[in-house]
Structure 1
């Protein structure tokens, strides 16, 4: 019950201390709001002390008001046996109108105090029941400090008064109760809420103008770039065919002139170097396929129900083939990626493509470089099926199959695609789930232009056709603060921490505040025990490699091949093949094993920057797109952004590609006439460079130990896993990201600088004079330059706490709480 500031309720018993009862600030639902409609009418009526009735206001959510009799009403006080009922709560009747109104009690002295020697337990239970009834109906516990409406007045506790102020009334016989007359019900317009119509998303039939805006294809998947890559593969096939045909008809290609000459470099290092360049380019194509395929599957004709939670957006086709495409219904693309994985074998095969052969039937006897026929035709077959895979990508990722406006490669792009989506509610409480992909229900989604049944505007988003937009329960509202008179007014607002706490006792709330949940996940190969194992194994292998290589000059003086070194008519030598293919294959394993590490550090760097206590700006968080860039571009961009660890790891990924190149061509079989034997001898310039690179690669494992800022609650390999940290974020309702038509405009709005955004989009830089005179649009967006974002506990659009990404601080609220790490 909501009483006036001077109203107090006290209980006095004989020879016992007094009890003080003050109203609870938790229950602010039974307030003057119920009595205010009747106070004005009750002031003009006469007092009638002959009727006794006790009524309390109903719960605020029970509408409309239903009149009940005193016997049936659950709001009636229990009757004391043998005691005359006290005076009524100023209930007045007007006989001339036959209607009754209720006046708000202005002072507790108007109410009859309790009688001594009488058990007050029923009254106390009744009062407690009424004070907690509204919270029980709404499902709130007593621990909650937030109210349903921020403008509800809350009164300060009453000061105790002396017992002399209370007098025991004289009992009198109960007067006869007059017949109850019907009340004047409250107007329906004041107690009934206007029903909210369901808003449904409707796909828009694409006109010529809308169709021209769609159809974006990432640059690596565009027809011109894939055609260029296909042409390089065809040139590689042509070079292989020329080597095979020319060598078979001319007793080899060129004479052997030593193991440290330019001709040696051409035959032993250049083929696998060209092959590794094609593989690096293929990695860029694969990355574009991974991040674009889910959106290409969201066409109106698509029927894939697991796009969001099953399709990966981060590359994984490195050391082991990625077979997830078969599970998601993309069987042809799955076969294509198996072919892409088999392409990694071309580098070891290219390292043993050319061998030396002893020629005696063509002039003087001598060693000549020749082509190994079996290896050559195997490479031709691999490159032919690689071309077939590239052709399939050209057909699959055509412009007409795309409903994208730009390349979705960052968190900001994801926000723009889902800011008006009707499937955000499907990600409820997935931010703390260890496997959010399994928690999200299958749903047929579509990417394109939409409108709704309630709004005529057209927008671009991901959603479900003809499904309602699920609104959150209520938007966050500021709590009221007490003014100078001790009361709370709706116009006075303050950031109250109690508003941003919801169900602290629930498991979900404990999880979002738990450092264990916040820093729970990392890939298995980057957990502490795994990294320690990699470091120990790499150092031991490096020491063994150096010892075997340089003790007694074993490599420099040569060693027995243990296999026959004779080259047959097809150019195949078992010894040369083994000591070319095996070292290059091991080097390729080292190169491929580093790629998932580099990709993880690229993908997790935005979250690492967001996990700083002071947050970071949009350029270093929401707009970072390291996984969408090549290794050289990542190295340069991360150096500019001062992400030094990402830059170094990307540098090692480039440096590691030289290991299979050098390892495959460093050994050759040579005949020593003095000893009359054949030995495997290493080219010392290449071997020394290989040892240096192997040492750098090994010591680089000391750098990959991720700190707690690079740990996350769960994986980040799908759209659903990323949306679990954004579905309730106020960023989805941020006006700065409304109606964005291009990535250049997105960068401009988030950073407040169109000059810097031009470097991301390839637009020409503006003149120096124009930089000093920002346009009206620039001045409007410059306010976003100082905005900082963080990853932590924030208050979502539903007024509840969530774990994810939001602005570090919003006007009128406290800063986000970045969950502290254990180290």
Structure 2
């Protein structure tokens, strides 16, 4: 049986026959206990003092009732309802109960509804037909239903008509000049990389031509000499240096390409949702940019991916060959001629791709003031944007590609219509400023507390239920909060990697050192003779195959390294006590070179990230060593064996062991799980669109990155006695009180969790943890 209504205490004497008994309809599904409490200290951030509180459930005016004044029509309608009685028609009550059962879907409504619609749902109301948009007044006359007006809407109606107008860069101001290009994409850096490629081309051409004219390059003098290092390790070592350099170029390309596309007139309307900002061109080629309207960048990245295979081929370039036509027949170093010409063409393709990078990422195509590599940079670029309403409730969406509507964005200077204000941001031209964009310019009370006009008609049942909507329950759910992690770092995959690494490492070491099999040599099972073009089947196979397998190991670790660098700021923000801006909002691990990021992570006490980045760099030595350790040797008994250079082989075994055991320590842990991916600008913006950080006075009108660092990390310190402990619970509150008692200054802290947004609603994302009173 369905419970239709629950009696509540009447405002008049219950014994009075002239006064009807009041009823209050219970919330839908109220009998179901909440599985995830709002006060989870790991997910919730403390509320700011003075934030808006929801209106009380009952808005009856007791004095008005006693004095005979007119009350709210909907309340009067509620009071006139009678309880279900045998012998009476209960159809209206049953209809109302059915409405409440299906109310979840109606309250949530369209995904990108307006702020007021989020509060009040649709216009259907208690006691009225579901198809009607009117309610009855006390005298029985219908009157149109309308939403309650807030003080904000009444006071800012003219402001909401403002639109964003693009303007040219202001002249004679203190704004930093536009046209910033990251260091890896600058002409000087790319020119240096092109010179290194030309050096490789010249070296290969010289080796090929000199080998033909002089019967080889140098005499073979053993497998542990300087010449052996020159021909068996140095070529692939230079190749891996170029490859690591290309990784830095790719990282910069991914990071700034969306912003470059917003700096010029291009018909791209889903840049924020579809364009990745972290590299994904490692194990498999990335064709994303062909779909994003950037075919030139897509071709460049395809050439970069093909360069991954230059290291195994470089390890096969130089072979030992027996020259019998010399006065004293002997073994000499020679080149595999056909492979040499292929490598020349390969590096010429790379030079052409780098020249395309110079043209695409030139200064005049950039509207950036500095490298947008951190969360704080995203905050500044969207601080006063007019597209923030498009991201309503996006923090819990698993995929933002189809959730966020398309828009044609521009990065540059803007001014609101009818205003002399100028700012640098990302926005959509001639689009009205939305409510969240205007909040920074309005008085605090205009957006901290909604003011409802007591004369407005509104559905109190719907308003009450909207406060416990599906969205509110979702952001408090751990299943939504800790949902996303790359497939290759999920528990089942990590167990598979660990088992595979251990099961392969142990036989590898056993076979290598039992009975000195590698040191004494083994039968190559292939011909070891070297042809006129310098090709030896056994030497080619035992150089190319080990280096190729090692290259795949090296490439497979790069997505792991990229993921940890991307989410480390979020992992630091997930701390129950928050973290500093240097370790979170200002941190830009993805933009740092390999060696620098390791030392920077150690300095910030991000030890797991430091280890992951160290392995990413150390694993580059495996393909270099694997491609040069084996050579065919002719023994005195007349048989040919493949023999390893033991110094190089022992070094490779150390790096392989470190690599295999590293899978034991790369568990992401819960703090690195997020509601959805953050590999796009939209993914990051979904955790910031309603954050009070976008209206933080401390970071208003920032003119340089140095100024941003000073404001977030240096000048924002608060005295411990001024820190508000509201919202902190348990150990956090005790530590904060100890801090106050000791009169220790505390730096500003930031955290990832549930906070009260600029629209006075709960959201999941990033905000300050400690605020001054």
Mapped to 2, the partners of 1:620 and 1:696 lie a distance apart of 28
Provide the residue aligned with 2:13 in structure 1.
10
Matched, 1:403 2:403: no
Provide the residue aligned with 2:503 in structure 1.
540
1:224-244 Cα shifts (integer Å, max 9, x gaps): 111111111111111111111
Matched, 1:685 2:647: yes
Q: 1:684 to 1:478 in 2, by over 3 A?
A: same
Q: 1:22 to 1:577 in 2, by over 3 A?
A: closer
> Aligned to 2:652, what secondary structure does the other structure show?
helix
- 1:29–1:59: 8 Å Cα contact kept in structure 2? no
Provide the residue aligned with 2:325 in structure 1.
361
Q: Quick one: which of 650, 672, 679 aligns to 2:635?
A: 672
Q: 1:437 to 1:785 in 2, by over 3 A?
A: farther
Alpha-carbon distance, 1:547 to partner: 2.1
- 2:543–2:630: 8 Å Cα contact kept in structure 1? yes
Mapped to 2, the partners of 1:377 and 1:753 lie a distance apart of 60
Provide the residue aligned with 1:698 in structure 2.
660
Alpha-carbon distance, 1:302 to partner: 2.0
Provide the residue aligned with 1:737 in structure 2.
699
Provide the residue aligned with 1:56 in structure 2.
71
- 1:373–1:570: 8 Å Cα contact kept in structure 2? yes
Mapped to 1, the partners of 2:77 and 2:607 lie a distance apart of 69
Q: How many residues align?
A: 630
Matched, 1:549 2:512: yes
Mapped to 2, the partners of 1:191 and 1:538 lie a distance apart of 61
Mapped to 2, the partners of 1:750 and 1:435 lie a distance apart of 31
Give the alignment of 1:315-394 within 5 angstroms.
Answer: 315-394=279-358
Alpha-carbon distance, 1:477 to partner: 3.2
Alpha-carbon distance, 1:33 to partner: 11
**Which residues of structure 1 form unaligned runs of 5+?**
1-6, 40-52, 61-73, 81-120, 130-135, 142-147, 149-189, 481-500, 755-782, 813-823
Give the alignment of 1:31-42 within 5 angstroms.
Answer: 31=61
Provide the residue aligned with 1:110 in structure 2.
none
Alpha-carbon distance, 1:79 to partner: 14
Mapped to 1, the partners of 2:642 and 2:747 lie a distance apart of 64
Q: 1:614 to 1:367 in 2, by over 3 A?
A: same
* TM-score normalised by L of structure 1: 0.72
Mapped to 1, the partners of 2:418 and 2:580 lie a distance apart of 35
What is the aligned-residue RMSD (CA, Å)? 3.5
1:368-404 Cα shifts (integer Å, max 9, x gaps): 0011111111111110000001000000000000000
- 1:422–1:464: 8 Å Cα contact kept in structure 2? yes
Alpha-carbon distance, 1:306 to partner: 1.3
Provide the residue aligned with 2:762 in structure 1.
801
- 1:750–1:785: 8 Å Cα contact kept in structure 2? no
- 2:633–2:640: 8 Å Cα contact kept in structure 1? yes
Alpha-carbon distance, 1:522 to partner: 0.4
> Aligned to 2:346, what secondary structure does the other structure show?
helix
Matched, 1:277 2:307: no
- 1:354–1:370: 8 Å Cα contact kept in structure 2? yes
Give the alignment of 1:640-679 within 5 angstroms.
Answer: 640-674=603-637, 676-679=638-641
Mapped to 2, the partners of 1:413 and 1:214 lie a distance apart of 15
Provide the residue aligned with 1:716 in structure 2.
678
Mapped to 2, the partners of 1:389 and 1:701 lie a distance apart of 35
- 2:20–2:80: 8 Å Cα contact kept in structure 1? no
1:464-489 Cα shifts (integer Å, max 9, x gaps): 00001110499653699xxxxxxxxx
Mapped to 1, the partners of 2:697 and 2:344 lie a distance apart of 55
**Which residues of structure 2 form unaligned runs of 5+?**
1-9, 26-54, 83-87, 97-102, 109-115, 117-150, 440-444, 452-463, 717-743
Matched, 1:434 2:398: yes
Mapped to 1, the partners of 2:165 and 2:153 lie a distance apart of 30
Matched, 1:565 2:528: yes
Q: Quick one: which of 445, 448, 455 aligns to 1:477?
A: 448
* TM-score normalised by L of structure 2: 0.76
Mapped to 2, the partners of 1:661 and 1:247 lie a distance apart of 24
Q: 1:358 to 1:466 in 2, by over 3 A?
A: same
Matched, 1:603 2:566: yes
Structure 1 stretch displaced more, 298-307 or 318-327: 298-307
Matched, 1:578 2:541: yes
Alpha-carbon distance, 1:29 to partner: 4.7
Give the alignment of 1:75-474 within 5 angstroms.
Answer: 193=154, 195-197=157-159, 198-209=161-172, 213-472=177-436
Alpha-carbon distance, 1:209 to partner: 4.9
> Aligned to 2:359, what secondary structure does the other structure show?
helix
> Aligned to 1:436, what secondary structure does the other structure show?
coil
Structure with bigger gyration radius: 1
- 1:316–1:322: 8 Å Cα contact kept in structure 2? yes
1:557-578 Cα shifts (integer Å, max 9, x gaps): 1111111111011111111000
Q: 1:478 to 1:809 in 2, by over 3 A?
A: farther
Q: 1:331 to 1:802 in 2, by over 3 A?
A: same
Q: 1:57 to 1:646 in 2, by over 3 A?
A: closer
1:511-551 Cα shifts (integer Å, max 9, x gaps): 10011111111000000000000000011111121122222
Mapped to 1, the partners of 2:641 and 2:415 lie a distance apart of 76
- 2:264–2:365: 8 Å Cα contact kept in structure 1? no
Mapped to 2, the partners of 1:587 and 1:534 lie a distance apart of 16
Alpha-carbon distance, 1:57 to partner: 4.8
Alpha-carbon distance, 1:463 to partner: 0.3
Q: 1:209 to 1:785 in 2, by over 3 A?
A: farther
- 2:22–2:79: 8 Å Cα contact kept in structure 1? no
1:101-122 Cα shifts (integer Å, max 9, x gaps): xxxxxxxxxxxxxxxxxxxx99
- 1:30–1:59: 8 Å Cα contact kept in structure 2? no
1:651-691 Cα shifts (integer Å, max 9, x gaps): 111110110000000000011122x1111000111111111
Q: 1:33 to 1:9 in 2, by over 3 A?
A: closer
Provide the residue aligned with 1:512 in structure 2.
475
Provide the residue aligned with 1:524 in structure 2.
487
Mapped to 2, the partners of 1:283 and 1:440 lie a distance apart of 30
> Aligned to 1:739, what secondary structure does the other structure show?
coil
Mapped to 2, the partners of 1:753 and 1:565 lie a distance apart of 70
